[in-house]
Structure 1
Amino acid sequence: MKTLVLLCGLLALASGLPTAAQQAPSKLKIKTKGGSTAIPATPVAPDFSRTYAASITPAELRQHLTIVASDAFQGREAGQPGQKLAAEYLVKQLSELGLQGPVPGSDNPYLQHFRLTRGTHADGGYLKANGQRYEYLSDFFSYGPMPSPFRTETALQPVFVGFGVEQGAYSDYAGLDVQGKDVVAIMGEPQDERGRKLLKPNGRAADYWESGLRKAALAKARGARSIFLMTFAPAAAFQKQAKELAASLREPAFSLPDPGPAVIDTVSETVPPGIGIYFTSQELGLQLAGTTMNGLIGYARAVGQAGRPVPAGFRAAASTIFLPQPQEQLITENVLGFLEGSDKKDEVLVVSAHYDHLGVKHDTIYNGADDDGSGTVALLEIAQAFAQAKKEGHGPRRSILFIAMTAEEEGLFGSEYYTAHPVLPLANTIADLNIDMVGRTDRKHGARKHYVCVVGSDKLSSDLHRINEAANRDYTHLELDYRFNVPGEPEHIYYRSDHYNFARRKIPVIFYTAGEHADYHKATDDVEKIEFDKLTERAQLVFHTAWELANREQRIVVDSDKP
């Protein structure tokens, strides 16, 4: 299959470059009454998108990936030596292509340095309420490994906020001051006496407010320090679940000390920064709210009858919390390469992929060949194709910024930092094409299926969606799988890679992925399992879409307000 695809690539190259005979106008003879008259035929313009896409080959992708996903780079964990080695390799490749380093004030203009805080778990966390001690990882636990805002024993300021939701005229926060305080919210949504949800979807997923992350984002927007989400699980059941999650919750926790201007986001399924998020057992939740189960049921019924929030009248007992967590500061880097455009050079297209992975765990290297070595080498090959086009006098009209992001695995921090501290104005950024895991076949598709999952293309710009579909129709002929692009998609893929930090700032995006496979986030995600023919096709689709975006007369429109 790889040989066949390579052959097809060579044939495409041959068909894209005009021969001398094609370049010279041929002559047609037209018979007339007076004899034959020769007139020149119109020459066929070369299709440069096809020409330069053909320079993206399985052999070159393999050559890069064999290095990027090698043991020498130690899994490329953000802030660790292997990530630094990978950054050096990427800088070398981009500079040799002739791309510029656009980062002002950096010791290396290709590197955008920033700080991460890394917290490590320490035993002994607790919460004391009403004279009773509740243990961390037994009676309450955090939403994933999280930076602790309570590294010394701290007095809590609990504020009960009902279900913790806000939509239209319905607001559980109306009249409440939660600035710097610790909100307590019931899991689930308010219902009427017949069990029907009070809040209608109105274009949102039916389970929109079931998400603790969305409630946390709203609490953060209201200024809260932390949110405690009260489950209805009794102590034994809750403790069993906490025990099952304990190993993952002891993993290192990362945060971005300098996230830049806040962007309020109650839509995504990403962890909102700067707020502690904790789930509690039923018993602890009632203590924090200052009520009993009968009191809580009475409150929920009163809300259902009124069809709106009602005063709860609960008064929480004094409580304290202690969650020890040693923290260290790390430096990590986004890698940027800039290709200046011609007559529309002030407008910028971003092509992105994250080059970090999970590093070394228990003396085992996680090489991340697909996640996201595949996207990283695709980015390099796309950059090479555009650089070659420019060298040969066919460079893009708009500028292109290639960004290899760091710290995606820790929380999309590389793209969060870049979009908060852009080296080129976001107002001039027309789109982001993001590539993450495009080298394998997922569980849904068979080995012979040539496809790519397209996510987010229609969220903000109908132009972008049409352009990508036309590029595929005219050139790559892949099956475009939109299953991750539907409202309420259960895996929340749209929110789980670097494109989302552009999208939430109203920049149109496409996220290209092939989906998860059996080696996702395992040490077995190695180069030997990459399907380089499919990786080539997917990279070529990104290139064709980028070519049109960079060269079309009009900038694509943003005609939707959905992030």
Structure 2
Amino acid sequence: MLKTYALAALLLAGALPAAAQPAPTKIKLKTKGPAPTPAAPTLSQTYAALIQPADLRAHLTVVASDAFQGREAGQPGQKLAAEYLVKQLAEIGLQGPVSDSDNPYLQHFQLTHSTYAPGGYIKIGAQRYDYLKDWFSYGPMPSPFLTETASQPVFAGFGVEQGAYSDYAGLDVKDRDVVVMMGEPQDERGRKLLKPIGRKADYWESGLRKAALAKAHGARSIFLMTFAPTADFRKQTTELGESLREPAFSLPDPGPEIIDTVAENIPPGIGVYFTSQDLGLAMAGTTLNGLLSYVRALGRAGRPVPAGFQAPAAAIYLPQTQLPLTTENVLGFLEGSDKKDEVLVVSAHYDHLGVKHDTIYNGADDDGSGTVAVLALAKAFAQAKKDGYGPRRSILFVLMTAEEEGLFGSEYYTAHPVLPLASTIADLNIDMVGRTDRKHSAKRHFVCIVGSDKLSSELHAINEAANRDYTHLELDYHFNVPDEPEHIYYRSDHYNFARRKIPVIFYTTGEHANYHRATDDVEKIEFDKLAERAQLVFYTAWELANREGRIVVDSNKP
């Protein structure tokens, strides 16, 4: 599962406490007389029973072994893992659906691996502002300033646009560097000028949404001016120094893009930077008093007003080492029968964090557990087809790469699908389902359900019915509430399907003490619970693949 950062939560999006969830009701059933004779198993029960803990353990012992070196995207261990998964899908009897590849089971694409290099700066007049002191970038993005680059910044107020209110009206920011304030416009009484969007009263507090909007207007970069005193800003950058120097990945060609100002991930193709108050004021070409006068005038007018100051020329330099890396999604296809042109996607990511400081991060739960669950589902469905009970709709099993680096495998697949997205009915995504998280006792048999009701009420009902009729797990929805503070909905591969209006369910059991640590190993996996959770996904997939009608898209919850 993609990690998040405390600083991102602080600077990019204010998080609200998750809504309290009611305790599950316990019902005791009293029976009289002899127990009824068990009914014969249904077809779905027959094939769900093929998903067994021993098989899951056997696969995971290989996938999460030291031999695969933590499966970091683009590295030798990830290639070895891809070879293993291709072999399993081929032996199961699935087809390779990638027509333009040297291996029909592999969807190759390139990433850019960017590594910090010291010496970055912004010069305005005679004043120099150093990188990691007065400004920093956050997230996986290549620098557009590899050599000293002349810039004529554009000040765009709060950098927001909603209805008739637009900070970009009359501004040409194409291929330019935009400077905006954090926060939202307010009137003289401190009331927000813009109405809440959906459930999000603080919609434009997010720097990510401002970055996505600037990207939509063609900007090369956006500089987000914080109002914290410069001394506090510099203290934060010092404390975060090592994390801000970590190498980062990016997609050099993400393909057809959706401008998504709801997302909690940094949009590709634009530099996103935070500045100290001093640097932000200098780039805007004003003083703190001048900026406050502008904000007060805007509040009185209730709309954007001319700034009354002019951003000066600047020189920007942010060196990096940028290397291309090739990585691969692994795909297996099971063709349906009378509804074969409609496709259900079942997904997980097989990459992890690789080797850090000579220590292998094996990622048994994250997401070795989801990876082997997908293999088990593929085998069960393939066996059903061999026995003459194949699915009516086609099923595409996708094992994504580069999820840990920014959901890049699913971003690439959904931008370059091997089967039309218009024919894709849903994505069932499995990420970390082998453990018990901090919120549950070891005795509880549960799984967290995320996103099931956000686009399709039918999908939500189908999953609920599958659990009621077959697996009887505790379905935990605490990650599915509005403004959930960990932003789980945005942190795995299902999200790139959801943002393209394809219904999704994300199955997870949440974070635990070994999350993103070298101690996430096979011996800690609860294989009986992993099998139960995989069986729930199977039952839901069976219904989706075989029901008469395609599920409706009838909701759009943020």
With structure 1 as the length reference, what TM-score do the two structures score? 0.91
Per the TM alignment, residue 259 of structure 1 is displaced from its structure 2 partner at its CA by 1.0
What residue in structure 2 maps to residue 441 of structure 1? 436
**Matches of 2:393 and 2:184 in 1, distance apart?**
47
Find the residue that maps to 1:333 and give its secondary structure. strand
Please give the per-residue CA displacement for 1:312-341, whole angstroms capped at 9, x wherever unaligned. Answer: 122112111111101111110000000011
- Residue 69 of structure 1 is aligned with which of 64, 76, 82? 64
Aligned partner (choices 528, 533, 554) of residue 533 of structure 1? 528
Counterpart AA for 1:384: K
The residue that corresponds to 2:505 in the other structure is 510
Once structures 1 and 2 are overlaid, which stretch shifts more, 87-96 or 124-133? 124-133
Deviation at 1:46, TM superposition (A): 4.8
Aligned with 1:297: secondary structure?
helix
Further displaced range: 443-452 or 360-369: 443-452
- Residues 362-398 of structure 1 show CA distances to partners (whole Å, capped at 9, x for unaligned) of 1010101111001000000011110111111111100
Q: Equivalent residue for 2:229?
A: 234
1:339 alignment partner AA: L
CA–CA separation in structure 2 for the residues paired with 1:378 and 1:430: 20
Q: 1:57-95 CA distances to partner (integer Å, 9 max, x unpaired)?
A: 111111111110000000000010000000000001000
Aligned amino acid, residue 329 of structure 1: P
Mapping 1:55-454, distance limit 5 Å:
55-454=50-449
Displacement after TM superposition at 1:145 (Å):
4.6
1:45 deviates by 7.3
Q: Distance in 1 between matches of 2:403 and 2:533?
A: 21
Q: What's the CA shift for 1:44?
A: 7.3
Q: Give distance in 2, aligned partners of 1:70 and 1:216.
A: 39
Further displaced range: 131-140 or 295-304: 295-304
Partner residue, 2:454: 459
Of the structure 1 ranges 75-84 and 150-159, higher mean CA displacement relative to structure 2 is found in 150-159
For 1:150 and 1:171, the matched residues in 2 are separated by: 28
- 1:488 aligned partner, one-letter code: D
Provide, for residues 183-225 of structure 1, a one-character-per-residue CA deviation record: whole Å limited to 9, x for no partner. Answer: 1111111112222222221413122211111110111011110
Query: Which residue pairs with 2:481 in the alignment?
Result: 486
The alpha-carbon deviation at position 235 of structure 1 amounts to 2.2
Aligned to 2:15: none
Question: For the residues of structure 2 that align with 1:367 and 1:240, how far apart are their CA atoms?
Answer: 34
- Give the SS at the match of 1:334: strand
Is the Cα–Cα contact under 8 Å of residues 145 and 248 in structure 1 kept in the other structure? Answer: no
SS of residue paired to 2:404: coil
2:140 and 2:405 in contact (8 A); partners too: no
**CA deviation after TM superposition for structure 1 residue 560, in Å:** 2.3
Q: How far apart are 1:146 and its partner, in Å? A: 2.9
**Structure 1 segments unaligned to the other structure (5+ residues):** 1-21, 23-42
| Cα distance in 2 between the residues matched to 1:283 and 1:130 | 14
Cα distance in 2, alignment partners of residues 510 and 542 from structure 1: 9
Matches within 5 A, 1:542-561: 542-561=537-556
C-alpha separation between the residues in 2 aligned to 1:523 and 1:46?
A: 42
| Relative contact order higher in (CA < 8 Å, ≥ 6 apart) | 2
The structural deviation recorded for 1:130 is 2.8
SS of the aligned residue for 1:120 comes to strand
Whether the 8 Å contact between 1:350 and 1:401 is mirrored in structure 2 is: yes
Q: Aligned equivalents of 1:235 and 1:203: distance in 2?
A: 34
Deviation string 1:80-125 (CA, Å, 9 cap, x unpaired) is 0000000000001000000000000211110011111111111111
Give secondary structure in 2 for the equivalent of 1:326: strand
Asked if structure 1 preserves the Cα contact closer than 8 Å seen for 2:152 and 2:312, the reply is no
- Structure 2 CA distance, aligned partners of 1:286 and 1:489? 33
1:288 Cα offset (Å): 0.6
Identity score, percent: 82
In 2, Cα distance between equivalents of 1:552 and 1:412: 30
CA drift of 1:562 comes to 4.5
Structure 2 stretches lacking a partner, 5+ long:
1-36
- Distance in 1 between residues matched to 2:41 and 2:385, nearest whole Å: 15
Is the CA contact 1:145–1:250 (under 8 Å) kept in the aligned structure 2? Answer: no
Q: CA deviation at 1:549?
A: 0.1
